[in-house]
Amino acid sequence: MKQRKLGSGNLEVSALGLGCMGMSSGYGPAGEKRAMIAVIRAAVESGVTFFDTAEIYGPFANELLVGEALAPFRAQVRIATKFGFRIGPNGERLGGLDSRPAHIKAVAEASLQRLGTDVIDLFYQHRVDPDVPIEEVAGAVKELIQAGKVRHFGLSEAGAKTIRRAHAVQPVTALQSEYSLFWREPEVEIMPLLEELGIGFVPFSPLGKGFLTGKIDENTKFDATDFRNVVPRFTPEARKANQAVVDLLNAIAVRLTATPAQVALAWLLAQKPWIVPIPGTTKLHRLAENNGGAALELTATDLRDITAAADKITLQGERYPAHLQKLIGR
């Protein structure tokens, strides 16, 4: 798989990473441990070198899984994890945010232990904490970098002003936010800023939380613990209305002898050379399919056709319920 550089901090990773959250939480019951380790190791064997986790995934379970799975390959891969939520010592979700410098440093130590490593390649603030100045957050991560415990600083779902302020204290290597043909808002303000500052972009949910695969329709039933049950964009009515974007991808995929997911990922990769999507999966055949998207070359005409057609589609439903919507773009 081809390599890409995230930001001006010289973090080189595979063109596609692997988002590991869904192996432990978010999309229904956690996957069986041995099967999930097999998927992560198959990703390494296929050329993926960038793996995304967070302490809140589980909580804690996903970092432990990723650490165990990647232990034999640690020197050849890059691991990203995140801090910023309030979590009890036994993994209790306490609610709310905590990006106080002392807490950031404590999370770093705990994450290093769970991941079984002596350095975190990319350490993101998971959500902007309005009670802690971003300069203090950036300063705490800067100290972790100086101590050799972290290599690169990242932000997730941050707004433009916050990104600029943080970058002035400690250069931000990457921003992680949602971006796909299912959610294109970052194109307006965020991507021009990232280009200006030399910051890489790591889109999560690059397949629209599974919707762009074409395997979900208005009749799909999700597990009771699946996050998508509370997402306005995933109501049956919204799914029916939003089928138009899947139909668009299907039409292109048939012509290119590809799948809708591969077209969606290839489109994303073609937007900027500093974009590294992190599709997640718990299935070996989906891993192979997604990786095929990195090898799919879309022509300039293909890209113009896809973008022009997508511009005419008005997608229905917010991407988060109200209580989570307020945590983004600050």
Residue 80, domain CATH: 3.20.20.100
Q: How much is the pLDDT for 41? A: 98
Q: Which residues contact 54 (CB under 8 A, 6 or more apart)?
A: 21, 62, 63, 81, 82, 124, 126
Q: How much is the pLDDT for 250? A: 97
Per-residue pLDDT of the chain (330 residues; tens, 9 = 90+): 999 999 888 999 999 999 999 999 999 999 999 999 999 999 999 999 999 999 999 999 999 999 999 999 999 999 999 999 999 999 999 999 999 999 999 999 999 999 999 999 999 999 999 999 999 999 999 999 999 999 999 999 999 999 999 999 999 999 999 999 999 999 999 999 999 999 999 999 999 999 999 999 999 999 999 999 999 999 999 999 999 999 999 999 999 999 999 999 999 999 999 999 999 999 999 999 999 999 999 999 999 999 999 999 999 999 999 989 999 999
Q: How much is the pLDDT for 78? A: 98
In a domain, 130, yes or no: yes
Q: How much is the pLDDT for 35? A: 98
In a domain, 135, yes or no: yes
Q: How much is the pLDDT for 111? A: 98
* Catalytically annotated residue among 27, 57, 124, 320: 57
Q: How much is the pLDDT for 7? A: 87
* CB neighbours of residue 179 within 10 Å: 24
In a domain, 16, yes or no: yes
Q: Which residues contact 41 (CB under 8 A, 6 or more apart)?
A: 69, 72, 73
Q: Which residues contact 169 (CB under 8 A, 6 or more apart)?
A: 134, 135, 138, 139, 142
In a domain, 54, yes or no: yes
Tell me how far CA of residue 325 lies from CA of 129, 259, 287, 317, in angstroms. Answer: 14, 31, 29, 12
Number of domains in the chain: 1
Integer Cα distance of 137 and 302 in angstroms? 42
Q: How much is the pLDDT for 310? A: 96
In a domain, 256, yes or no: no
Q: How much is the pLDDT for 174? A: 98
Record the tokens describing residue 305, joined without a space: 């056709």
In a domain, 118, yes or no: yes
Q: In the annotation, is 124 catalytic?
A: no
In a domain, 96, yes or no: yes
Q: How much is the pLDDT for 8? A: 87
In a domain, 88, yes or no: yes
Record the tokens describing residue 79, joined without a space: 């691991």
The domain in which residue 286 lies consists of 3-208+271-295
Contact by Cβ (8 Å): 5, 12: yes
